[in-house]
Structure 1
Amino acid sequence: MSSRGAATGSTPKGPGNSSRSYDSSWDALKFRRTARPLRINKKEGRGARVSRTVKIQDLEVKGGQKKRGNLSISEKPAGPHQIPFTVVNGAGDGPTLLVNGGIDGSEYNGPAGTLRLQTELNPTEVNGTVIIVPVVNTPAFEARWVYTNPVDYRGLSGAFVREIPRGGSGHPLISYQVAKSFYDNILSKAEYRLDLHGGDIIEDLLISTMYTRFGEDPKRDDAAFALARNFGWVWIREGRPRPGAKPPYEGQPVPITMGTEAGGSGRCQSDIVDMVFKGITNVMKHLRMLRGEPDIPKKAKVYRPYHIYSERGGFFISDVRAGDMVRKGQEIGVIKNLYGDVLERITVPQPGVIHMVTSPAVYQGDALFEIGTDISEVE
C-alpha cells in the first residue's frame, strides 16, 4: 500500500509538498510506547461476549458456525454490486476481529492471506468472532487500478462519511457507497481490525506492520501497538495524525487497528502470504481467540516515516531497494529526462531504512521514497 490508509496516518504525495518533507508532527508530539506486548485481561471483560448469533444484512451466523456472505453495496447498470465476506463465529467467548484486505485494489499479499484464513479457520477452535473481507475495493481490484478506482477516481480511505452525498449527476458515488455499507454493516461491529495491505503496483515496500499513535487515548494507542508487535514482523511503522487533519471516518467509532505492508509491484508471493497468515493467527493468539502463544521475534524495530518528494518530473532510477539501510548524504537515485540528461540527484537527508521505492515514471512532486527514521528497538 502506499502509506495512505487509515492505519498509517501518513503524508500524501503531490505537487503541493516540498521536495524534502519531514512529518513535522513528530516534533510537536511526544509519544510513549510500551515495549512489551499487552495481554488481554479476561477479568476486565475486554472484548468478552457471550456466544451469540452474528447478523450482517441477511446473513445470520450462530455460535460455532462459519458462513459465507455477500455484502450488498448498490445497484450498477448491469446488476447488484456485492462484496464477498466470511464470518467465523466461534464456539467460545471472545472479541470481534475484522480482517480485511483490498482497501487499495492492486495490493495482493494481504488479501491472499485472508483467502487461506477463510478456509482454514475452524469455528469450534475460535473464541469470539472473525469477520473476513478479502477485497473491499472490488472495482479497483477488478481493474488492477492504482490508489483509487476507475469509476469515480476516489481513494476509498477518504470516502468514509456519515451520509452519502446526494443530488446532481456527475461522477458516480461508488466509493462512498462501498465505504458506507462496509462501515455500517461490518467495520462498526468490530473491536479489533487487521487492515492488510501489500504495496501497490507502482511501489516496492519493506515488509512491516504499521499503526497510528493518535495521542488522545494512550491505552488504545498501546493496544494498537500490541497488535502490530504480536503480528510478529521485525519492522513496525509508527504513524502520527497530520496537524490539522480531519479525523478519520468523520469521527465515527472505529476498532483498535493495525495494518501491514508486504511486497508490492503487482506481485503475490506465496512466502509473504504465509507470513501474513501466520501474523493473523499470532494476533488471534494474543487476543486469546486461538489457543497458544504468538510466535514472534524477541525484538522488533520501530521507525518514523519520512518522505522524499521529487523536484522534477521524468524517468526515476533508484540505487536502493526496500529494506536497504541508508546514511545521511548518500545518493540513492536520479531523475533523467527522455534524452538521458540528469535533472535531479536524490540524496538522503537523514539515515534510516528504505520503506518504499516508487516506479520510474514520476511527476514533479511525487513521493520517490519513504524512509524509516529514528529507529528504536523494542522487546
Structure 2
Amino acid sequence: MFKPLEVKKGEKKFGYVEIVDNLALSVKMPIGVVRGSEDGPKLLVTGGLYPTEYCGIEAASRLYHMIGPDTLRGTFITIPVINMFSFQWRTKWVNLRSTSTTPYDGKNVNNVFPGDPRGTLSERIASKVWQTLKVCDYHVDFRGGDLPESHLVHTIYLKIEDKIDKLCLEMAKVFGLEYVLPSTPDIGHTSTGTMIHSAVTKGVASIISESGLGYRTQPHEEFIMNHVNGTFNLLKHFNMMEGELKRPKNQKFLDMRWVGVSAREAGVFHAIADYGDLLKENMTIGKITDLTGSVIEEIKSPIDGIVHTMYPARLVFPGDRLYTLLRINDKTGW
C-alpha cells in the first residue's frame, strides 16, 4: 500500500491509501506527492471534500502533473478527492437544510474531523486525511459552488484569536483571489469538526479557496486556474519555488455577517443577479412567476453589497433560500 509520507527526496509518486477493506466495503483515497531535492515546508492541497465541487478536484489533479521535484523546495502533497465514495455516487450538497453526506453512513466528512480510524466510513476518511494534514505546514482546501450553487470566487480564513491567525490571513491574501472572507469557529463552515478548524487549532495554517460553479458539471478553465495560480503564489511566497506572484488589482475583505434572501411565494424562480454582482439596497435581483409568466414576487436586495451565492433552483417553495449576500469591507492592502 502507498505510503505518501515516505516518498524520498527528488521523487514524485501517486498512489492510493486504504480507507477500509472488508466484506462490506472497499474504499481507497488518491494521494500525489512531489518531494523536492531540497528540504523545505510541506504544502497540502485537498479537493473533493464535497465531491461534486468539480473545479477543485480538477485543480488538485492538475497540480500534481504540473509540479516537479527539480523546481521544488520541500514537499507538495495533493489529495484530489477526499471522499471517493461520494464522488463515485455523485452525492451532492442538497440545500441549506442538509449537507453532502456519505451514502454509506449518512454523515458529512467535514463535520467529523479529526476522525476515527475505527469509526464509520466518513470518520475513517477524515482520520486518513488527518494523518497527512497534521504533519504539514500549510494547507488549502479547494472548494467552489456545489451542484445547487452559483458561488463567488474568494478565500476563507479562520480566526481563533491565536498567533496562527496572522499566517492564515497572509495565506488568504497571497492566494490572490479578489475577495477574502474572515470566519470564526461559531460559523458553520469553520466550526468544530471541520477540516480547517481541526488544522488551525493544531497549528497547521489552513485556508479555503472557493472557485467554481458546480451546477456546470464540466469544470471551467477560469475557475480551475484560480486554484492553480493561487497555489503557485503560495509556493513562491513560502520560498518553495522561484518566480513572481500574481496579484489581484483590487482585493477586498468581505463582512462575515451573512444576509439571506428567501422566497415568500412558491413558483418559478428567475435570477437576475448572479455571483459577484454588486448590489444596491432595494435593487431587483430576481423574480418568481407562475406558469403563465405573471410575476407573483419581485426579489429585492436588502443591502448594498455583493452576491455571494445564487441558488439556481427552478421551482421554489416559500422559505427556500434564493441568495446569500455579503457586504464589502476595506481593501486588504495586498
Q: What TM-score does the superposition give when structure 2 sets the normalisation length? A: 0.84
1:58-137 superposed matches below 5 A: 60-75=6-21, 77=23, 80-137=26-83
Indicate conservation of the 8 Å contact 1:307/1:367, yes or no.
Answer: no
Indicate conservation of the 8 Å contact 2:4/2:33, yes or no.
Answer: no
Whole-angstrom CA distance in 2 between matches of 1:276 and 1:57 = 26
Q: CA deviation at 1:60?
A: 2.3
Q: Which amino acid aligns with 1:262?
A: S
Of stretches 140-149 and 119-128 in structure 1, the one that deviates more from structure 2 is 140-149
The aligned residue for residue 356 of structure 1 is: 309
Correspondence for 2:259 among 302, 307, 321? 307
Whole-angstrom CA distance in 1 between matches of 2:309 and 2:232 = 26
Q: CA deviation at 1:140?
A: 2.0
CA RMSD of aligned residues (A): 2.8
Q: Tell me the secondary structure at the aligned position of residue 321 of structure 1.
A: coil
Q: CA deviation at 1:93?
A: 2.1
Correspondence for 2:207 among 258, 264, 279? 258
Going from structure 1 to structure 2, the CA distance change for 1:159 and 1:364 (only over 3 Å counts) comes to farther
Whole-angstrom CA distance in 2 between matches of 1:362 and 1:186 = 42
Q: Which amino acid aligns with 2:228?
A: F
The aligned residue for residue 199 of structure 1 is: 145
Sequence identity of aligned pairs in percent?
29
Q: CA deviation at 1:282?
A: 0.8
Q: Tell me the secondary structure at the aligned position of residue 327 of structure 2.
A: strand
Whole-angstrom CA distance in 2 between matches of 1:353 and 1:229 = 19
Whole-angstrom CA distance in 2 between matches of 1:363 and 1:165 = 41
The aligned residue for residue 153 of structure 1 is: 106
Q: CA deviation at 1:226?
A: 1.3
Of stretches 230-239 and 133-142 in structure 1, the one that deviates more from structure 2 is 230-239
Of stretches 326-335 and 84-93 in structure 1, the one that deviates more from structure 2 is 326-335
**1:377 and 2:299 are equivalent in the alignment:** no
Q: Tell me the secondary structure at the aligned position of residue 263 of structure 1.
A: coil
The aligned residue for residue 178 of structure 1 is: 125
The aligned residue for residue 237 of structure 2 is: 286
Q: What TM-score does the superposition give when structure 1 sets the normalisation length? A: 0.75
Q: Which has the higher contact order (CA 8 A, sep 6+)?
A: 1
Indicate conservation of the 8 Å contact 1:310/1:363, yes or no.
Answer: no
Q: Which runs of 5+ in 2 are unaligned?
A: 94-99
Whole-angstrom CA distance in 2 between matches of 1:289 and 1:103 = 26
Q: Which amino acid aligns with 1:105?
A: P
**1:320 and 2:270 are equivalent in the alignment:** no
Indicate conservation of the 8 Å contact 2:115/2:124, yes or no.
Answer: no
Q: CA deviation at 1:363?
A: 5.0
**1:233 and 2:177 are equivalent in the alignment:** yes
Q: Tell me the secondary structure at the aligned position of residue 61 of structure 2.
A: helix
Q: Which runs of 5+ in 1 are unaligned?
A: 1-54, 167-172
Correspondence for 1:297 among 248, 256, 261? 248
